Amino acid sequence: MPELPEVETLCSSLKPHILNRRITAVDIFETRLRKEVVEHDFVQWVIDQSITSLDRRAKYLLWQLGNEATVVFHLGMSGRIGVFFNPSSREKHTHVVFHLENCQVHFRDPRRFGLIQVIPPHQFARYAGFEKMGLEPLSADFSTAAIAGRIEKSQKPIKLWIMDAQNVVGVGNIYANEVLFDARIHPMRPAHTLSAAEREQLVTSIKRILESAVKRGGTTLNDFRDAEGEPGFFQMDLQVYQKTGQPCGVCGTEIQKNFLSGRSTFYCPNCQV
DNA sequence: AACTATACCTGCAAGC
DNA sequence: TGCTTGCAGGTATAGT
């Protein structure tokens, strides 16, 4: 479900409710997520700690605690995090409930591809996974110059290149399709065949599409909601994703669908070359 | 090393 | 109505 704009939206909608609040208890109902949820880690490092900051890194949500431990969340395909102010019944597939002074935070994930991990104090920098991740696309250091070397070396289709978190983080299947339409680049083009001008355009389009989606509060196709249960609206701006057979907004040619490494791929065969 | 295919899991919609 | 099939926003890993 969630790519960078959805996680960013979740983070900012959750922040006002839980920043500087203390976690009083954690209930774990299901430990079989992408990685085992370790109850002992919550007892040792999370209970009675305050949340001193919330951040997004790639598609991960991070809670920094007063003791310098970190709680890492990933929503997988179907994860949701919601804040509740009244004692509310637990929905099906709600696996973990955080009790705070002022509210409850529910983690729900039917498909269980998501993740909740506790990183003990001062170990985040060494946490496997984050150190080998690529650049944040909305940061100033994500530039044509920064990616030129990696893109020139890669034979893989450009769509798979931009979805590879070692190159750039946060771009999943929806936004990869939309970015390549915006850049007028065919998704199957081997990455190294992009000209300098196309690489420049690609960087511009990645930033533009993601920023625009963040402003719209993400994309709600079926079930994405922010922490307060509000949907996003970027689905109204989608140009190609799930538009098979519909006319391209630029030239009127029918949008095509293919599969690339098992993922649905949408493009205008006339505009994208 | 680089790249592809598959596995992980549940829900839902479409087709029969 | 009820069954089967295929597909869904992500990532790790086994295989070529």
Picking from A177, A169, A128, the residue whose alpha carbon sits closest to that of residue A146 is A169
Rounded to two decimals, what is the model's pTM? 0.97
Exactly one of A6, A8, A56, A59 is catalytic; name it.
Answer: A59
Strand B–CB A153 distance below 7 A: yes
Strand B–CB A264 distance below 7 A: no
Kindly state the greatest CA–CA separation across chain A. Answer: 59
Is A30 a residue of the active site? no
> Token pair for residue A113?
């591809």
Give the Å distances, CA to CA, from A15 to A45, A51, A105, A111, A235: 20, 10, 12, 25, 24
Strand B–CB A102 distance below 7 A: no
pLDDT value of position A1? 67
Strand C–CB A221 distance below 7 A: yes
- Give the tens place of pLDDT for each residue, A142-187: 999 999 999 999 999 999 999 999 999 999 999 999 999 999 999 9
Q: CB < 7 Å to strand C — which of 123-152 in chain A?
A: 129
User: Cα–Cα distance between A90 and A120 in angstroms, integer?
Assistant: 28
Is the separation of the CB atoms in A119 and A72 below 8 Å?
yes
pLDDT value of position A223? 87
Strand B–CB A32 distance below 7 A: yes
The DSSP output letter for A190 is B
Residue nearest to nucleotide B4 (CA to C1'): A261
**Which of A170 and A131 is assigned the larger pLDDT?**
A170
Strand C–CB A74 distance below 7 A: yes
Q: What percent of chain A has pLDDT over 70?
A: 99
Which nucleotide's C1' is closest to A257 (Cα)? C7
Q: Count CA within 13 A, CB hemisphere, residue A223.
A: 12
Over residues A262-269, the mean pLDDT reads 95
Distance A169 CA to B9 C1' (A): 24
Query: Angle at CA A43, nearest 5°, toward A42 and A49?
Result: 75
pLDDT band of residue A132 (cuts 50, 70, 90) is: confident
Query: Is it the case that residue A114 has pLDDT exceeding 90?
Result: yes
Which nucleotide's C1' is closest to A78 (Cα)? C9
Match 């909608």 to its residue by tokens: A13
Is A34 a residue of the active site? no
The DSSP output letter for A91 is P
pLDDT band of residue A63 (cuts 50, 70, 90) is: very high
User: Cα–Cα distance between A260 and A264 in angstroms, integer?
Assistant: 7
In strand B, which positions have an atom below 7 A from any protein CB?
A: 2-11
Is A263 a residue of the active site? yes
User: Cα–Cα distance between A239 and A241 in angstroms, integer?
Assistant: 6
Q: Which helix (H) or strand (E) holds A4?
A: helix A4-18
Picking from A97, A77, A81, A100, the residue whose alpha carbon sits closest to that of residue A89 is A97
Chain-centre distance for alpha carbon A166: 14
Picking from A37, A68, A73, the residue whose alpha carbon sits closest to that of residue A55 is A73
Query: Is it the case that residue A128 has pLDDT exceeding 80?
Result: no
pLDDT band of residue A89 (cuts 50, 70, 90) is: confident
pLDDT value of position A204? 98
- Give the tens place of pLDDT for each residue, A212-261: 999 999 999 988 999 999 999 999 999 999 999 999 999 999 999 999 99
Which nucleotide's C1' is closest to A156 (Cα)? B3
Q: What percent of chain A has pLDDT over 90?
A: 94
Strand B–CB A173 distance below 7 A: no
H runs (alpha helix) in A164-246 = 173-183, 196-215
In strand C, which positions have an atom below 7 A from any protein CB?
A: 7-12
Over residues A31-45, the mean pLDDT reads 97
Helix (H, G, I), strand (E, B) or coil at A18: helix
Strand C–CB A9 distance below 7 A: no
